[in-house]
A and B are shown apart, each in its own frame.
Chain A
Amino acid sequence: MTSPRIDRRSLLTGAAGVAALSLMPGFARVAFANAPTDKRFVVVILRGALDGLTALAPVGDPAYAPLRGELALEAGGDRPALKLDGMFALHPDLAGFKAAYDAGQMAAFHAVAIPVRERSHFEAQAILETGLGRAGGRDGWLNRALGVMGWNDAGKAVAFSPSVPLILTGDAPASSYTASALPQGTDDYMARVAALYAPDSLLGPALAQGLEVQAMAAEGDPGAAPMKGQGQRQANMVPVAETAGRMLARADGPRIAVLEAYGWDTHVGQGAADGQLARRLANLDAAMTAFRKGLGEAWNDTVVTIVTEFGRTARPNGNKGTDHGTGAAAFLLGGAVKGGMVTADWPGLADRNLFENRDLAATGDVRSVLKGALAGHMGIDPGRLDRDVFPESSAVPALEGVIRV
């Protein structure tokens, strides 16, 4: 990077900026506070609906191979599925997940779903993110979790996206970060923009939060070149995962993070051991490996929750792909996870067991996984989880025993 190195931190806290900054209420709390905890809690949203029957294949179900035909993974051959237990095997490109499973650091869940039967991506993603038992709702469960924990620092909860997604939107401060392809403004210019935005209830706080996280990222890796075009939704998740890991590793870094991955909506030519979906899974696996590398020792204090809005149809469609379905797979990954197991009340893939004669039925509520991870790792009181984080969810108990204590 040849442009002059800008130290936003000195802008925010140094004497030079004080005169201008004193006008800005949004800048009152910009000095990096040390984090309220060492624990890291990360949510990865796979947007577009991951085919759980490929990522976590029920190879032990006798109906699986005939039902799936050429989309089925094989137990043998060049690229066999990675066997976890008598029923389930991971896709061959999820080797990192498999290693974590073997080390007891990955727990998998199958036939889980959001509480509403909904096959629209957009509606289903909204429900996954609001954590409600119905459509509607304007804030996300992860933001409400921040509120319950009493966190009040936007730098501690970061979405690695151009904007804050619904899951992290709400009353508690949160921010977003992507590496910019644009030249940074000078400190003086940014201070002037901040003064200009001070009276603005949307732009003022947004700029303050954006600058704070940008400064943190620059400090974490001053030599790193900006990753071009991260403002857009990237197919390659690895660079952003590595950046996220590095930032979360910092003593004063974020503790809550959201990552998003796209490209899972495989209506056509999905592939099996190889092909379109295999490439997405390989990228996810590499991203999680990069994330772990970025985290270093902090991996041991980390739980990554990987979820998608719904599963895909049990049978292939007419184009060697799959359409929108119901029961899905979910994963917990990280050094703090008590893993090495697959949890599923397996409904079976025989025709009579399919939901509406087309989808893997859902026998579990994905919120029980999320609640189990939040309760076990972040120590949120179960009553608050039922009432405030996932309102009206007391009938969906938190899964126990998924986090190391």
Chain B
Amino acid sequence: MGPSAELALHRFGLGARPGELARIGDPAGWLTAQIAAQAEPVSFGDFPRAAQVIREAPDRGALKDDKDARKDYVRELRDAARTAIGARMKAAYVSDTPFHERLVWFWSNHLAIGMQAKLRVVPFAFDYERSAIRPHVTGRFADMLLASARHPAMLIYLDNALSAGPGSRAGRRRDQGLNENYARELMELHTLGAGGGYTQADIVELAKILTGWTVPPKEFQKGDTAFLFAPNRHEPGAKTLLGVRYDEGEEAGVQAITALARHPSTARHIARKFAAHFTADAPDDALVAHLEGVFRDTDGDLGELARALVAHEAAWTPALGKARDPIQFVTAAVRATAGASAGQIKPESELALLGGMRALGQVPFSAPTPQGWPDTAAAWFGPDQVVERAEWALALAGRITQSVDPAELAAGLFGRLLTDTTRTAIARAPSPQEGLALLIASPEFMRR
């Protein structure tokens, strides 16, 4: 089976909306056209960029002394988190470029942050995906990596903001020193991959190279920047990473990160992860090798990587070989039932949908570890999770008030992918609501 509108919508997109399947004549072309899409969703304009978050942050000393103010601030953060998640999800529910959104989600998860891990990450979480990830998902990988490395969300999440060279002025004067956390994950997770050819000594050297990369305190924040290279925290002297010598200074960090982005191990690591995410838990070797070559030969051009993916025959087989994670599952259910109009998704429904994601075990911007969310069937089709998805499908169907013919809807959403088993189960359902629930709980709907 080559490219099909069904898989374009379900595997590479966010699930089908009613009527959408029939409108896609050229599945690969429909996807490729989305790669160029650059505009961010208009609703994002209301959100503060990282620099503004720093400028408007409450005075820490005041918070320390005032219990009520502290309580208010935490409540404010919680509301901000909810609003940010709402905006992100709403953009997905109504997106006309769902493949582009999926690329954002993939890269955001590749360079994952978890706002539940540290309260200080929360106000930056939305801007991280918006400013450090989204603009680069069809650009150069090195640029995305640098933007991530400099963003307050990542600097705080993986502690580089606190790291100081033991021989630096801050390191000698104050009780501060090296923190390896970011350097390790930068190589293990973001670039080279485990077994990518680095040692513990390389981790320490990279950590030293990146000392001084931090978040500016309010009084040092200037213009639109939310990044500070603090020379007084930077470890003096040259360092050696993967056999290459780096001079002292900020530029060495840029060079080191760029070199990691271009390393052959990075091409291999990312090609496999990208193919596995979109096509199969054990992806086709020829597809992986092809993507690895494209990544290497284009200097990590992620738009070309996405084009190469959808142009490759193996990316379209086997059909429905991947488990939808809870966020994708909830999103597909909303797109299938609420239609394209944003006006149909009421704020209280948004809240209920967020509750659904939470109950199913996945919340945006809240990856459980720096490794990001898993994307395999083993991770998401556990006994307990499967029961809960079926329960959630019934709960959602119960909330749909408009009249729906689930049999017709199923045929329209899944076309040739709809199995007789699902068709029969829907046809025999005791009510349209339960028919709809069975459609959402169906094996087809659980996968992509």
Do A and B interact with each other, yes or no?
yes
Interface status of A267 (Cβ within 8 A of chain B): yes
Q: Which of A161, A177, A190, A232 has its CB near the most chain B CB atoms (within 10 A)?
A: A232
Interface status of B425 (Cβ within 8 A of chain A): yes
Main secondary structure of the interface of B (DSSP, over half): helix
Given contacts A123-B194, A323-B179, contact A196 B384 (CB under 8 A): no
Cross-chain contact A232 with B425 (CB below 8 angstroms)? no
Number of interface residues of A (CB under 8 A): 60
Given contacts A183-B395, A268-B159, contact A196 B425 (CB under 8 A): yes
Interface 9-residue window, one of B162-170, B214-222, B250-258, B297-305: B162-170
Cross-chain contact A318 with B178 (CB below 8 angstroms)? yes
Interface status of B52 (Cβ within 8 A of chain A): no
> What B residues does A185 contact at CB under 8 A?
390-391, 394
> What A residues does B243 contact at CB under 8 A?
none
Smallest Cβ distance from A118 to chain B, in angstroms? 8
Could you give, for residues 102-142 of chain A, a 1 whenever the CB lies within 8 Å of some chain B CB and a 0 otherwise?
A: 00000000000000000111110000000000010000000
Q: How far is the CA of A154 from the CA of B383 in the complex (A)?
A: 10
Q: How far is the CA of A323 from the CA of B437 in the complex (A)?
A: 48
Cross-chain contact B422 with A206 (CB below 8 angstroms)? no
Q: How far is the CA of A217 from the CA of B422 in the complex (A)?
A: 30
Q: Which of B179, B188, B392, B422 contacts A268 (CB 8 A)?
A: B179
> What A residues does B437 contact at CB under 8 A?
189
> What B residues does A169 contact at CB under 8 A?
378
Q: How far is the CA of A191 from the CA of B63 in the complex (A)?
A: 54
Interface status of B349 (Cβ within 8 A of chain A): no
> What A residues does B356 contact at CB under 8 A?
182
Interface 9-residue window, one of A60-68, A82-90, A207-215: A207-215
Cross-chain contact A229 with B381 (CB below 8 angstroms)? no
Cross-chain contact B392 with A318 (CB below 8 angstroms)? no
Could you give, for residues 169-199 of chain A, a 1 whenever the CB lies within 8 Å of some chain B CB and a 0 otherwise?
A: 1000001111011111110111011011111
Could you give, for residues 133-170 of chain A, a 1 whenever the CB lies within 8 Å of some chain B CB and a 0 otherwise?
A: 00100000000000000000010000101111000010
> What B residues does A356 contact at CB under 8 A?
200
Interface residues of B in 364-417 (CB under 8 A from A): 368-369, 371, 377-388, 390-392, 394-395
Interface status of A395 (Cβ within 8 A of chain B): no
Q: How far is the CA of A330 from the CA of B390 in the complex (A)?
A: 39
Cross-chain contact B164 with A318 (CB below 8 angstroms)? yes
Interface residues of B in 36-69 (CB under 8 A from A): none
Q: How far is the CA of A268 from the CA of B158 in the complex (A)?
A: 10
Smallest Cβ distance from B141 to chain A, in angstroms? 21
Given contacts A122-B371, A323-B180, contact A202 B166 (CB under 8 A): no
> What B residues does A164 contact at CB under 8 A?
378, 382-383
> What A residues does B159 contact at CB under 8 A?
267-268, 319
Q: How far is the CA of A175 from the CA of B200 in the complex (A)?
A: 37
Q: How far is the CA of A180 from the CA of B391 in the complex (A)?
A: 9
Smallest Cβ distance from B160 to chain A, in angstroms? 10
Cross-chain contact B194 with A207 (CB below 8 angstroms)? no
Cross-chain contact A184 with B386 (CB below 8 angstroms)? no
Q: How far is the CA of A351 from the CA of B142 in the complex (A)?
A: 40
Q: How far is the CA of A185 from the CA of B378 in the complex (A)?
A: 24
Interface status of B181 (Cβ within 8 A of chain A): yes
Q: Which of A161, A203, A208 has its CB near the most chain B CB atoms (within 10 A)?
A: A203
Interface residues of B in 185-205 (CB under 8 A from A): 188, 194-195, 200
> What B residues does A193 contact at CB under 8 A?
390, 438, 441
Q: How far is the CA of A161 from the CA of B382 in the complex (A)?
A: 9
Given contacts A162-B382, A207-B390, contact A318 B395 (CB under 8 A): no
Q: How far is the CA of A169 from the CA of B377 in the complex (A)?
A: 13
Smallest Cβ distance from B323 to chain A, in angstroms? 8
Interface status of B432 (Cβ within 8 A of chain A): no
Cross-chain contact A122 with B434 (CB below 8 angstroms)? no
Interface status of A397 (Cβ within 8 A of chain B): no
Interface status of B446 (Cβ within 8 A of chain A): yes
Cross-chain contact B194 with A211 (CB below 8 angstroms)? no
> What B residues does A122 contact at CB under 8 A?
188, 194, 369, 371
Cross-chain contact B434 with A317 (CB below 8 angstroms)? no
Smallest Cβ distance from B447 to chain A, in angstroms? 9
Q: How far is the CA of A200 from the CA of B162 in the complex (A)?
A: 50
Interface status of B171 (Cβ within 8 A of chain A): yes
Output the nearest chain B residue to A174 by Cβ-Cβ distance.
Answer: B383
Interface residues, chain A, with chain B CB atoms under 8 Å away: 119-123, 135, 154, 159, 161-164, 169, 175-178, 180-186, 188-190, 192-193, 195-200, 202-203, 206-211, 213-214, 229, 231-233, 262, 267-268, 317-321, 323-324, 356
5 shortest A-B CB distances, which residue pairs?
A318-B177, A163-B382, A210-B383, A210-B387, A209-B383
Further pairs besides A161-B384, A185-B394: 9, Cβ < 8 Å: A135-B195, A162-B382, A180-B384, A180-B391, A197-B443, A206-B383, A207-B383, A319-B176, A323-B181
7 A-B pairs, CB-CB below 8 angstroms? A121-B369, A123-B194, A163-B378, A181-B358, A189-B434, A207-B390, A323-B179
